Structure 1
Amino acid sequence: MVTDRYGNPLFECTAEAAAHLDRAVEGLLFFRPEFPTAVADAVAASPTAPLAQAFSAYLGVLGTEPRDAAEARRRFTAYAAGLDRSALPRRERMHLAAAEAWLGGDMGTAAHVLEELVVEHPRDPLALAVGHQLDFFTGDATRLRDRIGGALPAWDADDPHRGPLMGMYAFGLEESGHYDRAQEFALAAVERNPRDVWAIHAVVHVHEMRGRFADGIDYLDARLDDWASGTLLTVHSWWHYALYALEAGDTDTAIRIYDAVLHHKDSSGFVMELLDAASLLWRFLLADLDQDARWGALADAWAARADPPYYAFNDVHAVMAFAGAGRLAEADAFLAERRRWLEHDDAHRTTNHMMTAEIGLPVGEALVAYVRGDHETVVDLLWPLRRRVHTFGGSHAQRDAVQRTLLESALRAGRADLAGRLLGERAGLSPHSPYNWLRQARLADTLGEAGRAAVARDTANELAAPAATRLNRQLHRPYLARTP
């Protein structure tokens, strides 16, 4: 029996297919755009190999694209029909069980099966990487950290394949609040593999959460060749750059990034890119910065997808686009359709049922209420959810669009008590954020505390100045010109 490069036996797999699988796993770990081709090559070389079929199934769900998932489910069902799973090694059976669960919409079972698998096979990078993404999609920061941390002792310090696991561990550490340790692991991972964009991404998140935006810009500028083009995280990494620019008050740079990378006439229409576009424009909307033309084009792109209910995190960003474009009837109809879906028996068997019922719908309703100027309703909907929003997936940085919506509505509704509480929470976690200080100034204005407001604005300006200075170097502009 052949083995992969990590020493795992591969059942009913030829040497050719094993080589393709090794290439596919490496591509997945480093977010290389060509890795789906390697998966297809593995299936073609050994169509009965369980690992090749499981990987193909994972590929169908990792992008959270409903149509890709449906096609992957069709292929997997055809493969599994009549398959004698009892004849398969346990590792292969567990991969197939995890893939089948996720294809069926049960993300929790899939995550659990893969966690049990790596207890027995901690040197299975496919199980670790797919499980890591499941933890991200379900907002489980503790398991995002510990799934990888528990397996790392099985990878020697000098193991050439340990690097991407360190990057994944760094992201889990960051999402669970261990920022020093996260940065340590992420920087070490990048030192091993300079184009490890997931590890670069972890460093970027650490700077975001700490409000160290100038440091984040310095880091991204220093590694532009490694992340700014040619990876599956290119668009998302530019989104982070745009967030840094917004925090520095440089809206022009953020808009240049939006137009060149996040959404334009040649954009792919992939949901992962539309998420970033909606999230960035929503931050402009919260700041009362007009983006009507961009909102209209983005809402058209979401409407063209006509997605069925699949992942509530995506649905919330579709509602952002419809509401941001002023197409409130469209947003209302979208939410009504999700409510009807919740009543179907099939919906109750999916993780997305819980995500939609408990988080997706109330957050979507709050976004629409915000655009309607009904800030009391926004507060009523989001205040009880603010510590549970993570359960519908994403990162702290992504979900901050929802948290900022709650804060903005609390300020606009004159709820100084709640706004003060929210700002206290934010400032405690990120005291260097200009955004947080500017909102402190607005709250002080509301309370008639002119001196306190002036100090807060001065502090925001002082904190933003270093990041603005970095952006003035405009080292990023040549990369934007050549980014597809």
Structure 2
Amino acid sequence: MTADRHGHVLTDTGPEARDHYERALDDLLFFRPAVEERVRAVLAAAPRSPMGHALAVHLGVLATEERAVEAARATFTAFRAGLASDRLTARERRHLAAAEAGLDGDFRTAARILGEIGIAHPRDELALFAGHHFDFLTGDAPRLRDRIGGALDAWDEDDPHYGPLLGMYAFGLEENGHYEHAEQTGLAALERQPHDVWGIHGVVHTYEMRGRFTDGIRFLDARTDAWAGDTLLTGHNWWHYALFSLERGDTGRVLDIYDSALHDVAADGGALELVNAAALLWRLHLAGDDQSTRWAALADAWEQRGDGPHYAFNDAHAVMAYVGAGRLDRAELLVRDRERWLAGTPAGPVPANRAMTADVGLPVCRALIAYGRKDYAGATDLLLPVRYRLHEFGGSHAQRDAVQRTLVEAALAAGRHDLARTLLSERSRLRPVCPYNWSAKARLEERLGAPERAAAARQRAAAQAAGAGLEDHRNENRR
């Protein structure tokens, strides 16, 4: 019997496996692809290691990859079959319970159990990391922040993993609207560990939410060596770079990023890669930019995956791809498949993805299909009831904004001018520096027969896209 560097007992885990486990946690916190090989090394050295198996399961589940989950389930089931649980510590039993809940799609139960571990063992890095990401998958913003904030006092600031914890905390702060605090916390994380790609990601989100897209590009350009190499988050950070470029009106740069970093048509794309690609092309689609060739290749990639009802957030992005490619029949097939799956739900507790699919995922998918059919009134009516519940199927504010913009565009196209005015008033007050908001306002004013107001809004959008506007907004706040 051994213990990790924080003194947590590791049952049936010898010194070699323990060393692999520690290195695996380091790789996990920094999103290095080597984590998968390191986890295999843990189990090769200690096939009965409870924490090795818990780590393997969390790695598979958090990737939102159905195939990865099924592979993890097979190994985990064989492990549990011969397990004498009374030999394990209470912490290890809880980890295995959280892993089992994750495999069953019960993400909220997994997050709750990991939270209990974090309270009793605030330096349990796996519990903190996995719990943080379950909070992200379920859109639980307060826990995304407080799970990490509640553990930080138990950590020595000189610990090599204190920086990644700050990076996680920065993202939690950002998702709760604490943008200045989040930026400073993320920068403090990067002072400790410059290659903390999750910390970089957290700071980038603060720029996105405040309309500081020029600052975001500068920030990423200054740290290219830290985030643009071989990490599990590289493509997603490129997606953020593309969003900044899109706000600046640089469509050429956006498509360069798409082709070089977001969707490799020759590769078997993972779920996150395809989500990034669909979310970016959908924004172009809403702007009337036809990318039919790219849509066709992306829709092919989603079809080849053949995913079942595994994660509703992924389903919505698959439907974006099918609609963008004009494959409305394929999008409707996915919706019917999920409807049949829900109809077969047994009595008793409902796993997270069933609730996500029923309450948010299917309404969003149906709205996207209606939008593709140019049934803008129908798309509007489908999205209105869920607009304040979108967080319940996961993702970040930045990711879910593709759906929020769909509602704006549907309302405009349907002639729902009162609603469009309300939505754009909300958006521009919350994010005063956002060229999209002002260009959409210009289109609304044109339809309302107010050319002078339209021109003023269009001018403001152009100034912001050119990098102006943010400093003026700061000055307005000072006066």
* Same fold, TM-score > 0.5, yes or no: yes
Report the counterpart of residue 250 of structure 2 in structure 1.
Answer: 250
- Asked if 1:442 is matched to 2:443, the reply is yes
State the 1:265 CA deviation.
Answer: 2.6
1:418 pairs with 2:436: no
Write the distance in 2 (CA, Å) between the matches of 1:222 and 1:282: 28
Equivalent residue runs for 1:365-404 within 5 Å:
365-404=366-405
1:48 to partner: Cα distance: 1.0
Once the 2 structures are TM-superposed, how far is the Cα of residue 461 of structure 1 from its aligned partner?
Answer: 1.0
Q: Report the CA distance between 1:4 and its aligned residue.
A: 1.5
1:158 CA displacement: 2.6
CA distance in 1: counterparts of 2:53 and 2:379, whole angstroms:
45
Give the aligned partner of residue 432 of structure 1: 433
**Paired letter, 1:97:** A
CA distance in 1, matches of 2:74, 2:170: 35
Give secondary structure in 2 for the equivalent of 1:333. helix
Report how far residue 99 of structure 1 moved. Answer: 0.1
* Cα distance in 2, alignment partners of residues 367 and 345 from structure 1: 25
For 1:71 and 1:188, the matched residues in 2 are separated by 38
Distance of 1:272 and 1:363 partners within structure 2: 19
Aligned length: 467
By how many angstroms is 1:349 displaced?
3.9
Deviation string for 1:284-324 (max 9, x for gaps)? 10000010000001001000111111100000011011111
Q: Give 2:475's aligned residue.
A: none
- Whichever residue aligns with residue 333 of structure 1, its letter is L
Give distance in 1, aligned partners of 2:435 and 2:428. Answer: 10
Q: Tell me the residue number matched to 1:343.
A: 343
CA contact (8 A) 1:209 1:429 kept: no
SS of the aligned residue for 2:11 comes to coil
2:114 is the counterpart of 1:114: yes
For residues 51-104 of structure 1, what are the alpha-carbon distances to aligned partners after superposition, in whole Å with 9 as ceiling and x for unaligned?
A: 011111112211111111011111111100131212210110010000011111
| 1:45-56 paired onto structure 2 within 5 Å | 45-56=45-56
1:421 to partner: Cα distance = 1.1
Q: Which residue of 2 aligns with 1:355?
A: 356
Moved more, 356-365 or 439-448: 439-448
Distance 1:375 1:241 in 2: 30
What letter is aligned with 2:241? Y
The whole-number CA distance in structure 2 between the counterparts of 1:386 and 1:176 is 17
Give deviations 1:95-117, integer Å, cap 9, x for gaps.
Answer: 00000111111111100000000
Tell me if the contact between 1:10 and 1:51 (Cα under 8 Å) persists in the aligned partners: yes
Alignment of structure 1 residues 169-318 onto 2, 5 Å: 169-318=169-318
* Deviation of 1:157 (Å): 2.4
Distance 2:298 2:366 in 1: 19
Preserved contact between residue 105 and residue 349 of structure 1 (Cα < 8 Å)? no
Displacement of 1:346: 5.0
Note if contact 2:9-2:89 (Cα within 8 Å) is conserved in structure 1.
no
Q: Determine if contact 1:298/1:321 at 8 Å carries over to the other structure.
A: yes
Q: Matches of 1:465 and 1:105 in 2, distance apart? A: 45
Distance in 2, matches of 1:117 and 1:72, equals 22
Unaligned 5+ runs, structure 2:
469-479
Instruction: Give me the identity figure in percent.
Output: 58
**CA drift at 1:267:** 3.0
> Cα–Cα, structure 1 residues 264 and 160, in superposed 2: closer, same or farther, change >3 Å?
closer
- Counterpart-to-counterpart distance in 2, 1:160 and 1:276: 31
Contact 1:416 1:443 survives alignment (8 Å) = yes
Alignment of structure 1 residues 131-150 onto 2, 5 Å = 131-150=131-150
Aligned twin of 1:9: 9
The letter for the 2-side match of 1:102 is G
Query: Any idea what the Cα deviations from partners look like across 1:432-484, whole Å, max 9, x if unmatched?
Result: 111111111111111111111111111111111138xxxxxxxxxxxxxxxxx
- Matched with 1:478 is none
TM-score (norm 2): 0.96
Deviations 1:203-249 (A, max 9, x none): 11000011111111110111111111211111111111111111100
Mean alpha-carbon deviation: is it higher for 382-391 or for 342-351?
Answer: 342-351
